[in-house]
Structure 1
Amino acid sequence: MALEDIAAGIRSALEGKTFTGSLKFDCGDAGVLVMADNTATTKDRETDCTIRISEENLVSLLKGRLNPMLAMATGKLKLSGNPAVAMALVKLIG
């Protein structure tokens, strides 16, 4: 699944919802997915929080098949910035 497809799904999930803050999923060479301003895009920008994760693990995380705490403990996910933003936005789209 391409990051643009994931972004489109997140945009649909965010319709009618509001959030503050910004979050970037950095998938290395596959690109980035940024949630900010009540939408999702694959255009890179500075964010309140960055999660470094593989594209495959991102899909698993968003589908609820990868536990975020377990992913952090096993090194599949690395977080920098404000973790409260990450928790709020992932819950919003989950």
Structure 2
Amino acid sequence: MTFEEFKEGVTKAGAKAPNLGKSLKLSLDEGTIFIDMTNDGGAVVTEDDKEADTVVTTDVDTLDQLRTGKLNPMMAMMGGKVKIKGDMGLAMKLQSLLS
């Protein structure tokens, strides 16, 4: 999966995301995806590199494996494939937000 394909999927999933009053930044090798979930009517997804409540650092392939359930989130963190800074509760909701 390419960065653009993944971003398109995040944008579609974001349209259904609830207003959590938080923001999430996916800092990927291929680029940045900023998900602003502070608005009613779905999340706003951009490539802005702004401050966020939670920052997830990884790559597109790892995120896709997490999204599809092929990779366990805890194993990804323990194996160093995913690094998280900020609100861990929001990070734990990432898989359901992207599905």
TM-score (norm 2): 0.79
- Corresponding residue of 1:23: 24
Structure 1 consecutive aligned stretches of length 4 or more whose deviation exceeds 3 Å: none
Extract unaligned runs of 5+ from structure 1.
none
CA contact (8 A) 1:24 1:32 kept: yes
Distance 1:44 1:69, change over 3 A: same
1:6 maps to 2:11: no
Q: What's the Cα RMSD here?
A: 1.7
Structure 2 unpaired stretches of 5+? 38-42
Counterpart residue number, 2:74: 69
How do 1:43-54 residues align onto structure 2 when only pairs under 5 Å count?
A: 43-54=48-59
Q: When the two structures are aligned, how many residues end up with a matched partner?
A: 93
Tell me: CA distance 1:72–1:8, structure 2 relative to 1, closer, same or farther (3 Å).
same
Relative to its length, the structure with more helix (as a share) is 1
Counterpart secondary structure, 1:75: coil
Is the contact made by 2:24 and 2:53 (CA closer than 8 Å) also made in structure 1?
yes
* CA shift digits 1:43-91 (9 cap, x unpaired): 2211101111122212212222111111001111111111111122432
